[in-house]
Structure 1
């Protein structure tokens, strides 16, 4: 692609219909598919863009599709409007052996009849095309490839798909950049681009600054007017070469019988520095009694729903609820808290330590299952602290036997490091911290009961601690 390429493209009629039976089988098997446990009954096309013509030896389509699914039990069997997913569909006559794991299937009808379709991010040429489009700020149909003009993107970097992703996909280019491609997408300002851009403006070195990003305007793709709410589809950032994530480092320390105190303390400092920069870059608000009661009501409702779904929570319900009522009592007395933009889903796996020992925070998307408006709301910074404290517990209890003392020491070191950089220790606000940690543990119990029952004892151990001595222990 040449500089500032703009192309108008149209997808062939019947494209989605020809892919439908293959996608119904393939999509639910992907680790980033959110609707597991419910059948896919059909697809609705949001946008389709031909990036490489399918008449050539190698074709490439960019699709935004809604997967239609029935609602869960209790909703009368109604159809869910459908989560929107970003797909990269490669088209070949036949797949070479190296691309066998990427196979979606063989098309039997429609415009691609007789061709083989596959997950294109496994293939070098489509991945190279994405980087070149970002480098040249191309516009193809409703897709806009944009970048920071102050940062240079060198052409010819060799791509490789990372295979350890969960809710998204990432391609590394020559150990220079990493392109995170969001899979489940919604229209609107995505915090995974918004917050790193704001931090870059503040000069923060704790978060890799966005180099380029990909957005889509389905209205423009269809030849109509641009919509007010484009989709953020991907972000290109510098790749921290040789970095290791905090979860892996913590497990290594545990396996060797070593403490993790210096790293925990440094990670606390890094978190506080990011919070301080976010508070400078974006507006903060004061949470008064009305806002706090709304927050407490949400926590209480989530607890009630979890207790109904997971019987193991029932003996602790009263003790867990007391964490929320204690917060409500303080709000009734007139206490207020400051809320700001936060990471929203902070844990050891969202932190990278460079070979030089410096910590960075990544993945500011927040919890993908939460509505976008909720993920962008200012919240007390202690929410991120609570998430990290829970992560230390998870690491310590992944061993047999568990190492709760290791976690306790790491939690204390993390809070001390945070206090040194922020000027305030999260432990001096115990009621708010307990409420957020309890809310997180309740969420974890529900998640593990549904998806990883073998891990259920991990959050239940925290539940026993957070509920206090007043809870009956079924064991």
Structure 2
């Protein structure tokens, strides 16, 4: 056995595959990834949390599963899941774009290290592990025994930028691989399983998943008795249409979208009702309302410092949050919700019904926050903002289209629940304001040419007496720009 193969045979201990030889290439590669949350922050240290080889020693290619802690100069620390392919250099031409670097020393000296999910052989191995439940070092693979998983579907990566990575297997399943991971069950596994148990057909149920079980350790070391959700396999909805793209096509054709918006409101209400029945709910009281308002106010203050264009509207925006605090909750129920609902998180299936996807919530928020019960109005506000985003992506701006869709969505929601979301104006305005502030921060950071889209809502929400149609017309998008999407997770046609 070669020296490299001998070193790789000790494959389930972090000490067996030291990060040292890989650190320089990972330090350069990580900040370039769409899913890396530390952009703009200097990396001070990479820490190996876990290392597992998923193929026998000496296999070519090899597949190395890493959990890597990343410490940044501003004091933040995150944990990322990496699946690294290892082959003798040079890589085959088809894998050249996936290259991370070449190891010059250590157990992988002379080998090319690359993004493993781009290698069909390694992607197929990951599905095979999910078909056969069991443990592999700290990794645990599990599945629904009643859900069939085909043996040899051809894998392909889902194209487009994502905050995670997804693989489509044939035409039957899609695997979401979480990149930034936390201790605790990810809502994208927890909530669809709860909905399936409740008999809700609006969200396809997970058929397999995998987690890491790490021993408890010192605080801040990313070691915990709670498992970390690493990936979820779900059915792939063939023939489905992404809600965001469908809305844009209707706008471009000058076609009505209110029937779809009404049906989408009903589907959202069904999901909310099922979640409320399956998982605990609470009633908002003064303390909870104050906590919500304080969080919104703090996000506003931070965003104003970063986005000076918000300064003239800060007092008016804060008024929405002050009104929420003054409402003292008024007994509004809080429950588990989607947490990041917009048109890009919906699919119109081949039979014309609506499905909701991506229950991970806003990935920038801590996992504990995303698992906390909140008023269902938060999801509704996200969808109302999404209709506005779609309308403002169209030239000329189509305010009547957005207003009609917003009304139809709320009416569809009320048809199922018996209560129109617009009957809670204080709560709805607060959440819609919070979402617009979030959008302004995102656009300022990533797409400054589109900052005018949330700014139009900022003006309307800060001056609530002025109808949106009388606001100054925002400048049109630059020629050749793609239609904007309101959130950092781009719309995805498949279920992801």
Q: Determine if the TM-score, normalized by the shorter chain, exceeds 0.5.
A: yes
Does structure 1 residue 62 correspond to structure 2 residue 58?
no
Please give the secondary structure, in 2, of the residue aligned with 1:420.
Answer: helix
Q: Does 1:281 align with 2:278?
A: yes
Aligned to 1:434: 429
Query: Residues 313-352 of structure 1 correspond to what in structure 2 (within 5 A)?
Result: 313-331=310-328, 335-352=330-347
| 1:32-431 to 2 correspondences below 5 Å | 32-53=35-56, 55-71=58-74, 79-80=75-76, 82-93=77-88, 94-219=90-215, 227-331=224-328, 335-431=330-426
Deviation by residue 1:246-305 (Cα, 9 ceiling, x = unmatched) = 111111111222121111111111100000000000011011112111211221222222
CA distance in 2, matches of 1:52, 1:418: 49
Check the 8 A contact 1:107/1:113 in 2, yes or no. yes
- 1:451–1:428 distance in 2 versus 1, CA, 3 Å: same
Judge conservation of contact 1:319–1:466 (CA < 8 Å) in 2: yes
Checking the alignment, whether the CA contact within 8 Å between 1:191 and 1:366 is kept in structure 2 is yes
1:177-234: CA deviations, max 9, x gaps? 111110000011211111111000001100010101000113399xxxx952011001
Regions of 4+ moved over 3 Å: 7-15, 469-475
2:453 is matched with which residue? 458
Name stretches of at least 5 consecutive residues in structure 2 with no aligned partner: 1-9, 218-222, 475-496
Whole-Å Cα distance in 2 between the matches of residues 38 and 378 of structure 1? Answer: 31
Alpha-carbon offset, residue 161 of structure 1:
0.8
Q: For 1:430 and 1:456, how far apart are their aligned partners in 2?
A: 26
Rounded Cα–Cα distance in structure 1 between residues aligned with 2:164 and 2:396? 33
- Which SS does the other structure have where 2:84 is aligned? strand
- Judged with a 3 Å threshold, the aligned counterparts in structure 2 of structure 1 residues 458 and 370 are, in CA distance, closer, same or farther, namely same
3-state SS of the aligned residue for 1:41?
strand
Q: Look up the SS of the partner of 1:99 in the other structure.
A: helix
- SS of structure 1 residue aligned to 2:48: strand
Give the match for residue 19 of structure 2. 16
Tell me the residue number matched to 1:29.
Answer: 32
Q: Contact 1:13 / 1:111 at 8 angstroms: preserved in 2?
A: no
Instruction: Identify unmatched segments of 5+ residues in structure 1.
Output: 1-6, 72-78
Q: What is the alpha-carbon distance in structure 1 between the residues aligned to residue 96 and residue 257 of structure 2?
A: 41
Per-residue CA distance 1:345-377 (angstroms, 9 max, x = gap): 111111111121111111111111111111111
Provide the rounded CA distance (Å) in 2 between the counterparts of 1:381 and 1:135. 36
Q: d(CA) in 2 for partners of 1:62 and 1:183? A: 12
Determine if contact 1:134/1:213 at 8 Å carries over to the other structure.
yes
